[in-house]
Structure 1
Amino acid sequence: MPSAKLFTPVDIRDVQIRNRLWVSPMCQYSVEEWDGVPTDWHLAHLGSLARGGAGLVMTEASAVSPEGRITNWDTGIWNDSQAQVWRRIVDFIHGQGATAAVQLAHAGRKASTYREWSGHGTQSVEDGGWQTVAPSAVAFDGYAEPRELTQEEIRGVVADFAAAARRALGAGFDALEIHGAHGYLVHQFLSPLSNLRTDEYGGSLENRARLLLEIVRAVRAEAGDAVPLLVRLSATDWVDGGWNLDDTITVAGWAAAEGADWFDLSSGGLVARASIPVKPLYQVGFATAVRAGTGKPVNAVGLITKPEEAAQIVDNGEADAVMVAREFLRDPHFALRAAHELGVELDSWPPQYTRAKWRNEA
C-alpha cells in the first residue's frame, strides 16, 4: 500500500500547498464573448476542483495578449477587466483551502484556431481570426503561415508576460506558470524545427532559449521573492532532430538560475506528425530526469488516472507532485476519493458534503 506522502503539504517559497495532487491546466474554450474575460463556467469548473480536495488548481492557458490566444474562446489576463473577474474565482478557490495558480501563455503559430466543436484549423481574419506570429514563418501542419516576429516585437512579448504576471498577482493568484510546452510560442522558439532564425534568438541552444529566460527573468522581477514560479516544458518533440530531453534538462537548469522554482514536464505538441507512445504514465520519466539533472522539484503528468499510481510516483521520488487532468474532469472530487482509497483521512471535506464521506457501515 502506498504511503500518505501524496497528501502531505509541500512548500514553494512562501506558499504552502496542502497536498501534492494538483489540477493540470485544461483549456475550456468557453468565453463566448471573445473578450478573454472568464465566465461563470470557469468559476464553477475551477471552484469544483478546489472543493474536491485538489492541492493546487491551475487555470487554463490564459493569454498574455489578444493575439496570444489559441482561440477566440480562450481566457486572458492582458487587461484589468479580466483580472477583476479572475479575483472572484481566486477568492472561491482560496475559500476551499486550495492554492490558485495561473498559466500564462502565448500560442504563437498555433493561435487563431477554432475550438474543437466550432470548426477546424485556422480561423480566418474574415471570420474573426488574426494574423499569427512565430519565431519564423513556418506553419504548424494544416494551419495558416505565421509572420516572423521582429526583435522589437519579441521584447513586447516579454513585457506582455511581465504585465500579465503583475495583473495575476493583483488578482490574488498564489503561483504563476509560464507555458513553454505543447508547441506554443515559447516552445516554438526552443525547438530547431520551428525556429529558423539567424539572429540572437535562433541557432544555438543558448539563443533559442533566450526568449524563455528573458520571460522567466521578467516574471520573477514582478513576482518578487515570495511567489512560486513554475515552468511547463515539453521534454521532447518526439521527432528526430527536434527538441529533446537533454535540451530540456540544460534549459531547465538555466531557467532555475533565472528564478524558476519548479518544472512541469509534459511532451509533444510542436509537430503534428510526431509518433507519441501514449499510454498510462508515459511522461513520468521526463519529470524524473529533469529532477535528477537540475536538482529542482518537478511534477509529473500524462494519463495518471489511479490513486495508487499518483501515490507511487511521489513515494518513489519520481516527482514531487502529480498533475491530473482528465480524471478531474470525470470526477471533480478525485482528490477526496483518492485519499479514501489510499486510507488517508482528510480534513478538507466541505462541511456541506461530510454526510457523503465513505464510512465502514455495518
Structure 2
Amino acid sequence: MSLLFTPRAVGPLTLKNRIVIAPMCQYSAVDGVPQPWHAQHVARLALSGAGLVVIEATGVEAAGRISWADTGLWNDAQEAAFAKIIRDIRTYSDTPIGIQLAHAGRKASTNPPWIDRGGPAPADKAWETFSASAQPYRDDWHTPTALDQAGMDRVVAAFVDAAERADRAGFDLVELHAAHGYLLTQFLSPLSNERTDEYGGSLENRMRFPLRVAQALRDAWPRTKALGVRFNGSDWTEGGITPDEAAVFGQALHEMGYDYLHLTSGGNVATARIPGDQPGYQLPFAEAVKAAVPEANVMAVGMIVTPQQAEAVLTEGKADLIAVARAVLDDPNWGHHAAVALGAKEALPVQYERADATHWPGYAAARSA
C-alpha cells in the first residue's frame, strides 16, 4: 500500500491521500476580488486527485496584499466571489478546499512578477507598507512603517475578520502564512526585526506577535474545520532563522491547536542564495521539525516532483504530508498519474474514466511521450 495514498487525519478533516496542493499566487484579482481565472484554476486543482487544495496567499487587509493584483478577503464582494467558487466546486468535487490568509508586510505594494520583475508598484497603484522595523526589503524599495501597538491590533483584527469570512464562504481549512519574508516572518527573523521592545531581540520576543496572530486565528476559526500554518525553516543567510528556532515555533503552534505545520524557507532576504533547483532542498527543515514535534502533522514542500520521491519522503518518516505546486501547474492530473505510478486507484471523475489506465489503450503511450 502506498503511503502517499493512505488517508491522513488533519484535525477534523480526513484527507483521502497525503497530496496537498500548495498555495500559488495567480496575481489576477481585481480590487482583491477573484476572477474567472481563479474559478477555472481552483476547479482544475479540485479535480487533480489531490487530498487537499489550498488557495493562494490572500490579503487580510488591502495593505496586506503582495501586489495590487492579489486576492483579498476583507470585504463582502471578495467573500461572495470566493463563496461562489466553493459552491460551484461542490457540485462536482468533494476535495477539501482551504485558503491561505496572509499579510505581506514590507513586501507588499508590488507589481505582479511579470511586470517589472515584481518590483515596487508605480505611484498610482502603491500604498503604505508595514513591518516589524522600518527596514526596506531592498535598498531600492519603499521603507515600511514599523508597526506600533495600534497597528498590530489592526492586523490581528484583520486576520480574525478574514477567518470569519472564510468560514462563511465555505472553506474547509485555513492556512496561516508565516513564511517567505512576509509580515509574520519579518517579526520572526532577526534579519528583519530590529526592535528593542518586547517584540524584538530574543526568539521568545520575536515570536510574540506571530503567536498573538496565531492564537487569535485559532480562537476565531471553528474547531470543526482544519487549521494549519506555513513557516520558514531557514532564511538561507547567516544570522537568520534556524531549523532549531523553527522547531520551537512549530512546537508552540502545535500546542496551540494547529492541525499541521508546513515547512518552507527563504524570501526574507533579497540577496539569499537558495538552491531551489535541487530536488527536495527544503526537506531538512520538515525533518527537523518532525523530529522535534513527532506528534504533529508535518508537511514538506520544495522541488518534490515525482511520485516516487514523494513516497520516499513519507516512508523515511521525514514528513506526513506532501505539498506540490508547480508540478501540478505542469500536469493538472499529477495526483491521478501518481496513483497509477504507485499502484493505487486512479479515481478520475466518472466523466473522464474512459481515459484512465484501465480503460484507454493509449494511456501508457501518452505518459511516455
The SS at the match of 1:5 is coil
Q: How far apart are residue 91 of structure 1 and its match? A: 2.7
Question: Equivalent residue for 1:11?
Answer: 9
Question: Equivalent residue for 1:292?
Answer: 291
Q: How far apart are residue 259 of structure 1 and its match? A: 2.2
Q: Does 1:181 align with 2:189?
A: no
Q: Does 1:237 align with 2:260?
A: no
Q: How far apart are residue 315 of structure 1 and its match? A: 2.0
- Correspondent of 1:115 among 112, 117, 132: 112
Question: Quick one: which amino acid aligns to residue 48 of structure 2?
Answer: G
Give the conservation status (yes or no) of the 8 Å contact 2:105–2:131. yes
Q: Quick one: distance in 1 between partners of 2:285 and 2:203?
A: 19
Percentage of identical aligned residues: 44
The SS at the match of 2:288 is helix
Give the conservation status (yes or no) of the 8 Å contact 1:291–1:319. yes
User: What is the count of residue pairs matched by the alignment?
Assistant: 356
1:331-355 residue CA offsets vs partner (Å, 9 max, x unmatched): 1111001111112113x31111111
Q: How far apart are residue 361 of structure 1 and its match? A: 4.3
What TM-score comes out, normalization by structure 2 length? 0.93
1:93-150 residue CA offsets vs partner (Å, 9 max, x unmatched): 44312111100000000000111222241113x3211111111010102421111111
Give the conservation status (yes or no) of the 8 Å contact 1:158–1:211. no
Question: Equivalent residue for 2:366?
Answer: none
**Which 5+ residue runs of structure 2 have no aligned equivalent?**
363-369
Q: Quick one: distance in 2 between partners of 1:122 and 1:332?
A: 32
Q: How far apart are residue 294 of structure 1 and its match? A: 1.5
- Correspondent of 1:89 among 85, 91, 97: 85
Q: How far apart are residue 160 of structure 1 and its match? A: 0.7
1:250-282 residue CA offsets vs partner (Å, 9 max, x unmatched): 111112222222100001110011122220111
Q: Quick one: distance in 1 between partners of 2:239 and 2:341?
A: 44
Superposition pairs for residues 196-207 of structure 1, below 5 Å? 196-207=194-205
- Correspondent of 2:65 among 65, 69, 75: 69
Q: Does 1:330 align with 2:326?
A: no
Superposition pairs for residues 96-111 of structure 1, below 5 Å? 96-111=93-108
What TM-score comes out, normalization by structure 1 length? 0.95
Q: Quick one: distance in 1 between partners of 2:39 and 2:341?
A: 28
The SS at the match of 1:7 is coil
Which is worse superposed, 56-65 or 213-222?
Answer: 213-222
Q: Quick one: distance in 1 between partners of 2:67 and 2:336?
A: 33
Question: Quick one: which amino acid aligns to residue 35 of structure 2?
Answer: T
**Which 5+ residue runs of structure 1 have no aligned equivalent?**
none
Query: What is the root-mean-square deviation of aligned Cα atoms in Å?
Result: 1.4
Q: How far apart are residue 45 of structure 1 and its match? A: 0.5
Which is worse superposed, 300-309 or 139-148?
Answer: 139-148
Q: Quick one: distance in 2 between partners of 1:171 and 1:328?
A: 25
Question: Equivalent residue for 1:312?
Answer: 312
Q: Does 1:282 align with 2:281?
A: yes
Question: Quick one: which amino acid aligns to residue 321 of structure 1?
Answer: L
Give the conservation status (yes or no) of the 8 Å contact 2:244–2:288. no
Distance 1:282 1:93, change over 3 A: farther
